[in-house]
């Protein structure tokens, strides 16, 4: 899992440099992508558990994930920028064997697509629940 996150960080780093022509702070973009992945993991998992166990309270705690994302982003930025660790992460990813890189490429695409699709499916589930059970204030 650690290699997968490093691979995603490295690809996001070079994506920012290549597409956006950003040369000064691409590590911020890569850290943001990693923060999105980690936050989406926790948010989707906790929301599904909440939906299955507490359907009455569903969609009540969903507003707090943004604070979790900000805290994770701040911690990740401190870690990545301290002693230029992003260069160490990129170097370690470049040193991986080609066979491992190909596997990580496939895994990262599947992983990010799964997160993206499940995020929207969870939104549809929340919308369907709110239509059936309107929130009484």
pLDDT digits (tens, 9 = 90+) for 55-104: 666 656 567 788 888 999 999 999 999 999 999 999 999 999 999 999 99
Quick one: how far is CA 6 from the chain centroid?
Answer: 12
Question: 42 is written with which tokens?
Answer: 């926790």
At residue 58, the pLDDT reads: 60
Quote the pTM value: 0.84
What 3-state DSSP class applies to 106?
helix
């Amino acid at each position: 899992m650690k290699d997968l996150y490093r691979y995603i960080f490295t690809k996001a780093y070079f994506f920012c440099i290549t597409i956006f022509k950003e040369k000064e702070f691409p590590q911020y973009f890569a850290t943001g992508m990693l923060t999105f992945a980690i936050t989406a993991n926790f948010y989707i998992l906790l929301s599904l558990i909440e939906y299955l166990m507490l359907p009455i309270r569903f969609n009540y705690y969903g507003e707090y994930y943004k604070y979790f994302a900000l805290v994770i982003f701040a911690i990740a930025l401190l870690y990545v920028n301290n002693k230029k660790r992003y260069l160490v992460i990129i170097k370690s990813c470049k040193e991986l064997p080609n066979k491992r890189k190909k596997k990580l490429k496939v895994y990262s695409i599947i992983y990010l697509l799964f997160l993206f699709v499940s995020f929207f499916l969870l939104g549809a589930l929340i919308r369907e629940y709110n239509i059936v059970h309107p929130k009484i204030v």
